[in-house]
Amino acid sequence: MRKEGNAPSKVGLILRDSYGIPDVRTVLKKRITEVLAAKKLRHELPEDLLGLIRKDLSLHKHFQLNRQDMSAKRGILLTESKINRLLKYYKRTGRVPESWKYDPDKAGMYLG
């Protein structure tokens, strides 16, 4: 299912809804992300971080068209702050390389 482009959480939902597996961890004794890492199918960045990057991209796109929208500007600041806090955690735990930095101008390539 991951090869089809589904995120780990989506894989879990499909297994629960279609196949009647309520919890993959009780069956395999591993989390879905651990199984994907063993098969080398895990994405470079964690799923929650990718979601925040998508949100930041859409806010930037909206703000480029609507320069007077100050609530969008605040949303950009809050979202980028969340991204940086999450990056700090993932760097500390070793999930993201220490040299990795978030650049809003190049954010589209992270989603590719």
Q: For position 80, what pLDDT does the model report?
A: 96
- State the burial class of residue 59 (Cβ atoms within 10 Å of its Cβ: 0-12, 13-18, 19+): buried
CA distance 100 to 98: 6
pLDDT in tens, 34-77: 888 888 888 788 999 999 999 999 999 999 999 999 999 999 99
Per DSSP, 61 falls in state H
Q: For position 62, what pLDDT does the model report?
A: 96
Single out the residue of 10, 83, 7, 14 nearest to residue 43, CA to CA.
7
Residue 8: pLDDT band (50, 70, 90) is: confident
The residue ranking higher by pLDDT, 15 or 90, is: 90
The answer for residues whose C-beta is within 8 angstroms of residue 87's C-beta and 6 or more apart is 49, 96, 100, 101, 102
Which residue ranges form the domains of the chain, and what is each CATH number?
8-38 (no CATH), 47-111 (1.10.287.10)
pLDDT in tens, 19-44: 888 888 888 899 888 888 888 888 78
Residue 6: pLDDT band (50, 70, 90) is: confident
Single out the residue of 4, 1, 104, 96 nearest to residue 54, CA to CA.
104
